[in-house]
Structure 1
Amino acid sequence: MQFNYKVILKVIGILLLINGAFMLTCLPFSFYYGEGDHMALIGSGFIAIGVGALLFLLTRNLESNDLRKKDGYLIVTLGWLSMSFFGCLPYIFSGAIPDLTNAFFETLSGFSTTGATVLTDIESVDKGILFWRSLTQWIGGMGIIVLTVAILPLLGIGGMQLFVAEAPGISPDKLQPRIKETAKRLWIIYCGLTLTELVLLWFGGMDFYDAINHSLTTMATGGFSTKNASIAYYQDPYIQYVIIAFMFLAGTNFTMTYFGLHGQFRKVLRNEEFRFYFIFCLGASLIVGLIIFNLGHDTFEKSIRDALFQVVSVVTTTGYVTHDYTAWTSFLTVMFFLLMFAGGSAGSTAGGVKLVRHILLIKNSLLELKRILHPSAIIPVRFNGKSVSRDITFNVLAFIMIYILVMCFGAIAVSSFGIDFNTSLGAVATTLGNIGPGIGDVGPVDNFAHLPMGVKWILSFMMLLGRLELFTVLILFTPYFWRKV
């Protein structure tokens, strides 16, 4: 048998059970605010639980639970798609987003932690549905961490072996027996940071409902807000600085967070990716802050704060907004567009290319100059003082090349619907990078509601591709994947 379909269906069944259970956790907000969305949540939750239970019961008596490599690719992709299709039911049943295309777009944007929205009046949506919207991002954020640690390294995807080599409780040669322990530790850190941010925002003056929603979507680097103006609604510097700090933490390799919480600061400071991440965000923020201050944007503190917020938001692919960066200058619009290709750290909830790939690309490119002068010399790429295998280097080069090609073809496909150049490029770049706001007519103060239905399906595919590290999805479209070996 080429695929172990029973194992695949069993895992998808478990995911749908979890999905349905999370839907029901939105009911307290629905009942408290009494806005009438409880029946949509109950119906959606029980449908997801019912289908999940059926799949699980039909496959519970498996003789073998062996997960093969090809099975892994299908589970990851079909799992994300099935959760998104069932996850859009609350929107449809409640009437918040009545049609499938828009509901699926919003849901996949949630699970992929992209933050692109089709809602034109977020504050008018019932509180239970709005909480489900935030919860999809929180589930997707932690899901990508577990995916990065547990699944992608086994499939040899995306150069994530670098993360695995440093992850607490994991070693490359004994990965599988320790996945459970590692996932447990990551869940504890993720939940702990979410709870900490909730407390800080709540005591900082944000009401409990808004505080829990923003905590969920900050730690997921998702960017869904309960306000039409996003974080620009809150002009309190304290609230904005708290969110900046937690966006930065969410975009940090969770291994570094683990080491930091255990007092191993030397390991954190010695990590090349973390140093690059910190300096990159700080440097870009200072450049933007000084430019907009000189333009008379506001006080020096406000200029630096807005710059820091927007740079960290885009680099970590969170997508929150305190100001329309496309209205500052053409130079800064181009700069923020380029920042969309940075991505956060590997092993974080951030999307995008990931900074570790940029570091390896730069190092390998510089070493090529040395190799030209010394063709017989063996000069390996080093990361954190260790040699990086040629396989990982080639994987990174292939990833970045395919990323650029996918973006180009995506922009061409979107523009074929009559969408202008800036909007086409901005929409594809922001959805492929799982960022949220782009440039053109999908900028920080706009949304995706006005785009044609066909464009929304293309952008949904971009979100899925970007979140699942390209190769996981694209390999399904190759003939040799389906060929019997």
Structure 2
Amino acid sequence: MNLKIILKVLGLLLLVEGVAMLLAMLVAIIYNESDIATFLISAAINLGVGGLITALTWKAKKDIGKREGFIIVTMVWVVFSLFGSFPYMISGSIPNFTDAFFETISGFTTTGSSILNDIEALPHGILFWRSITQWLGGMGIIVLSLAILPVFGIGGMQLFIAEVPGPTPDKISPRITQTAKTLWGIYMLFTIVETLLLWIGGMSFYDAICHSFTTMATGGFSTKQASIAYWSSPFIQYVITFFMFLAGMNFTLSYMAIRGRFSNVFKDEEFRYYWIIIVSFTALITLGLFLTSQLGLEQAFRDSLFQVVSIVTTTGYATADYLLWKPILTMLIFALFFFGGSAGSTGGGIKIMRIVVLAKNGYYELKRLIHPHAIIPVKFNRHSVDSKIVTNVLAFFMLYMVIFFVSTIIFTLIEPDMESSMGAVATSLGNIGPGLGSVGPAENFFHIKPIGKWFLSFLMLLGRLELFTVLVLFSPSFWKE
């Protein structure tokens, strides 16, 4: 195993994190707050450690195999979260290491679960750092590395395979590096446009930037304790809903739309199911809210649409507490915890593509029973899906559900309330943010015991890297020569 190249990549990416901390320090300087020294020290640690590791491993062999790829991808999230927790601890915003790590890995994995009880009391620089952790994690630290590492002569295809082990979207460009650059270009463009619209809509420029970061990352961190409910403006809520929808789409389709190839977008089967699911659940919940509450039709529609899009895309913003709705409506929201965004999006969860393949395979299995000699392949976008991919999807789904149920049982030993345990596990594994019960949209994770926070942090990592990338490291055969 090429340990030097693993360390070299981690060192280079620590330099990237250090630069991001300097950006947060710039915000602290602008507002002339007490966290200037915090970010200077944190950035110095990152740049110092990253620079030392890079210097010591500069002549490492440039070959990255599958094993190195899996280790790098997993370790990047862990190392980034460890070093990224320094600003919280040094500033005293989150002095406890467990809480600081939980908040940081929740940011980088774009989960959005928080332990903070008074967000608005924190300095602007800290809140900016909190938002930028999600923005970096949204498109993926690994995708960022695909655009950077070739400058140092390091190939990135192995990292891309490890980052997305399941069915992957079509590459925009035949060269993986160009693909990464194009994806980041679209990501930044959408972030800039959303920032301007939110600023026009009444947010401060600072709040607009922070919320654009966390919207496009489908992360859900807010600069306000009440999340998006702080702003009663329908315009702001509809703008955020629209960009959550975009962030939950396959970014390849966004690229096609920008190029004017709209027919390709609407022909895409995953996109059709994506918006059909959103429209269907929104219609059902709107009707339920309109009939069972005092809300007017527009308010009921807006609350329903916002919460549905927020949960499907695994963003986790809130404009209403769905736990106060009728139980059947809350159950519909909880069902959405197991959908997720599109493949090739910043969303987490199982992913729409996998659900469609699963449903089709189940339907075709019935047809195969009736016609045992017929060859009936699963088709997606009018193309036959390789049987290996179908097997991968089936394995992923079964593993996902087993992990959910087993983890829920384990977590009840920490949090006896079954509803809260189910919500905490589902939201962490799906990288969603709010859960049920004591970790619902109006609550947070501060009260969870330290061992529970470490357990949920592991589930966040599992969900962000789609299970296999992390679990393969626990296989004895992985470590054999």
**The TM-score by the shorter chain falls in which range?**
over 0.9
1:115 aligns with 2:119: no
Kindly state the Cα deviation for residue 156 of structure 1 after the two structures are TM-superposed. 9.3
- Secondary structure at 1:481 match in 2: helix
In the alignment, is the contact (CA less than 8 A) between 2:415 and 2:421 conserved in 1? no
Structure 2 equivalent of residue 96 of structure 1 = 93
Aligned with residue 467 of structure 2, among 465, 470, 474: 470
Deviates more, 1:149-158 or 1:273-282: 149-158
Q: Would you say how many aligned residue pairs link Structure 1 and Structure 2? A: 471
What are structure 1's unaligned runs of at least 5 residues?
171-177
Aligned with residue 337 of structure 1, among 331, 334, 339: 334
Structure 1 equivalent of residue 153 of structure 2 = none
Structure 1 equivalent of residue 316 of structure 2 = 319
Deviates more, 1:141-150 or 1:124-133: 141-150
1:166-192, Cα deviation, whole Å (9 max, x unpaired):
22113xxxxxxx111000100100000
Structure 1 equivalent of residue 252 of structure 2 = 255
1:355 aligns with 2:352: yes
Distance 1:385 1:312 in 2: 27
Closer, same or farther in 2 for the Cα pair 1:218/1:312, shift >3 Å? same
Closer, same or farther in 2 for the Cα pair 1:334/1:245, shift >3 Å? same
What are structure 2's unaligned runs of at least 5 residues?
147-155
Structure 1 equivalent of residue 29 of structure 2 = 31
Aligned with residue 445 of structure 2, among 445, 448, 460: 448
Structure 1 equivalent of residue 166 of structure 2 = 159
1:330-387, Cα deviation, whole Å (9 max, x unpaired):
1111111110000000000000000000000000000000111111211110000000
Paired AA for residue 82 in structure 1: V
1:107-151, Cα deviation, whole Å (9 max, x unpaired):
000000000000000000111011000000000001168289955
Structure 1 equivalent of residue 125 of structure 2 = 128
In the alignment, is the contact (CA less than 8 A) between 1:145 and 1:349 conserved in 2? no
Closer, same or farther in 2 for the Cα pair 1:345/1:418, shift >3 Å? closer
Closer, same or farther in 2 for the Cα pair 1:297/1:115, shift >3 Å? farther
In the alignment, is the contact (CA less than 8 A) between 2:270 and 2:353 conserved in 1? yes
In the alignment, is the contact (CA less than 8 A) between 1:351 and 1:433 conserved in 2? yes
Distance 1:333 1:201 in 2: 29
Structure 2 equivalent of residue 168 of structure 1 = 172
1:232 aligns with 2:239: no
1:382-440, Cα deviation, whole Å (9 max, x unpaired):
00000000000000000000001111121122111243100111000001000000101
- Secondary structure at 2:271 match in 1: helix
Structure 1 equivalent of residue 198 of structure 2 = 201
Structure 2 equivalent of residue 50 of structure 1 = 48
In the alignment, is the contact (CA less than 8 A) between 1:281 and 1:312 conserved in 2? yes
- Secondary structure at 2:140 match in 1: helix
Structure 2 equivalent of residue 173 of structure 1 = none
Kindly state the Cα deviation for residue 158 of structure 1 after the two structures are TM-superposed. 3.7
In the alignment, is the contact (CA less than 8 A) between 1:427 and 1:438 conserved in 2? yes
Distance 2:281 2:294 in 1: 17
In the alignment, is the contact (CA less than 8 A) between 1:432 and 1:465 conserved in 2? yes
- Secondary structure at 1:98 match in 2: coil
Structure 2 equivalent of residue 41 of structure 1 = 39
Closer, same or farther in 2 for the Cα pair 1:39/1:157, shift >3 Å? closer
In the alignment, is the contact (CA less than 8 A) between 1:272 and 1:383 conserved in 2? yes
Distance 1:417 1:187 in 2: 40
Aligned with residue 9 of structure 1, among 7, 10, 23: 7
Relative to the length of structure 2, the TM-score reads: 0.96
In the alignment, is the contact (CA less than 8 A) between 1:145 and 1:347 conserved in 2? no
Closer, same or farther in 2 for the Cα pair 1:247/1:392, shift >3 Å? same
Kindly state the Cα deviation for residue 295 of structure 1 after the two structures are TM-superposed. 1.4
Distance 1:48 1:156 in 2: 23
Structure 2 equivalent of residue 78 of structure 1 = 75
Distance 2:243 2:268 in 1: 20
Distance 1:482 1:145 in 2: 22
Paired AA for residue 6 in structure 1: K
Aligned with residue 433 of structure 2, among 404, 420, 436: 436
In the alignment, is the contact (CA less than 8 A) between 2:66 and 2:158 conserved in 1? no
Distance 1:441 1:51 in 2: 39
Structure 2 equivalent of residue 282 of structure 1 = 279
Q: State the identity as a percent.
A: 53
Distance 2:326 2:356 in 1: 28
Structure 2 equivalent of residue 174 of structure 1 = none
In the alignment, is the contact (CA less than 8 A) between 1:115 and 1:436 conserved in 2? yes
Deviates more, 1:413-422 or 1:110-119: 413-422
- Secondary structure at 1:378 match in 2: coil
Distance 1:58 1:145 in 2: 22
Kindly state the Cα deviation for residue 282 of structure 1 after the two structures are TM-superposed. 1.1
Closer, same or farther in 2 for the Cα pair 1:23/1:346, shift >3 Å? same
Relative to the length of structure 1, the TM-score reads: 0.95
Closer, same or farther in 2 for the Cα pair 1:157/1:248, shift >3 Å? closer
Kindly state the Cα deviation for residue 159 of structure 1 after the two structures are TM-superposed. 2.5
